[in-house]
Chains A and B, each alone.
Chain A
Amino acid sequence: MGLLVACLLVTCVLTGASHGQAYCALRDPVRVLYEAYPEADSHRSIIRTVTAADRDAIERDLSLTILYDELGRHTLYVPLREGHPLGLLHVRSERGRYGLTEIAWSLDLEGRITDGRLQRCRDPKLREAFAEDLLSQLGSADVPEILALLQKEGLTSEQRVVLGSAAKTSVVTSIVWDADLLPMRAAVLANTKWPESEAVLHAVQIDRSAFIADTGIEPLSVHAWSVRGVDGQQLGILARSWVNFDGQRVELWWQIDLNGCIVDVSAGDKESSSIKQAFSEVFGKSTATMAECSTAAGVVAGELLHGVGTSIMDGKVD
């Protein structure tokens, strides 16, 4: 897997005003964006910087490096319908035989590739590689799944470029735009967990010093939102944390009611029966009653409630 990821990173170049072009050359990918999301009525741009520090950190931690050309400001597009995100669109350039090929990748809010379109391509062989069967295999694939596809026998070099571009797009989107995507993901989840009213989220400033070490929760990853209905009525609390649990590292979303009791714990939008089962014993429990659960799940849940609850009690709600 490391070999494949390494190879991917050699071949890709981020789009943007490349090679010193003036910004008047920038164009929104309007055609491919509204082809990919025909129900969208507008889009939002999010421009972020890939820095040398990012490049160094990836290189230091992974022994890989992103290309120097990839540093700088780049744009992620969020197609919207009536202000609600439908997904993501990220256009990346790949070096080809005849210059740069621009591929517009559609992703869900979790950063998984859902579709791809060629925005500009001079290479007929690369166009051929962008066939329906290859794209269908990419549907909702995460990076490990895409890398697994790359290990299949019989792929042409152009197909490898396409798959590599997909994996690279997913990685970079998840890293560079993580902080931007988190509130959107939270909003989508809140509406599924509180379907009775369109949820309005207000961020809670987390006091990470309130978390005790070695409980499994990664304090830096904890984010929480006060969830209210459109009429302002408070519905509950939604929290997100990364947790080292049962030998694996998982992202958990916590639904907490107005009494401070855990209603649900889920692994994002993924159905995970093992997570549900492991945390089922904490449902209905609050900070006061969590001591009854002496299991690992109880420890984690108790720590989460303590840390988030402390911040709310201190009034750190936007």
Chain B
Amino acid sequence: MALLEIKDLQVKYGVIPALKGISFEVELGEAVAIIGANGAGKTTTLHAISGIADKCGGQVFFNGEDITKMPAHKIVSRGISQVQEGRGVFPNLSVAENLSLGAYLRNDKAEIAKDYEFVYEVFPRLLERQKQMAGTLSGGEQQMLAIGRSLMARPKLLLLDEPSMGLSPLITENIFKTIKKLNKERQMTILVVEQNAQMALWVSHRTYIMETGNIVYGGASKELKNQDFIRKSYLGQKD
């Protein structure tokens, strides 16, 4: 049984279909990427999993449990944490307060303290800026904070929405190295949605390709890298 199983998921915004019935799964310990152009429905997919987009059909199973109709905060309690597109840090709260919200549903103080240490170890920049308002951080630092905050929830499944958005290539690379490390060394299951196909293929075991609300292709990332149409349409390489 897969950790996350999505069956025929449909979402509409008004009358406009955003997801036209997609199905896929993520196994425990896996890193899976979804790539595709703007408006393909990648973000909507993550929102639907997290329970902040209304689903109009299909089912979502997590750990064997049907979470299709569950309210967002309960889904978080089951172990799914999402890092939103554009970071979504709270600019009016300090770095430490932002991190504390990641552990909002937890009561195990000693373990939370360990996770603070872990997050500060992964992102030493955050330790330096603990007391600073999150709104004053740079884009890269905000992305670190958003990921760190999700780690504070100790999720079983980490959803990442466009972690490269608005970041320089160098910082993007660092962020993706961290993601890969989390997956490899901490065995964290990761579902990442990304326009930067190169990074997405590098970080993941398997990749799905979305186009206008449908999954049109899926396969092992290593093999996809060498497919001609991927190289042309998504990696910008010439023959």
Do A and B assemble together? no
Task: State the B residues within 8 Å of A (CB).
Answer: none
Task: State the A residues within 8 Å of B (CB).
Answer: none
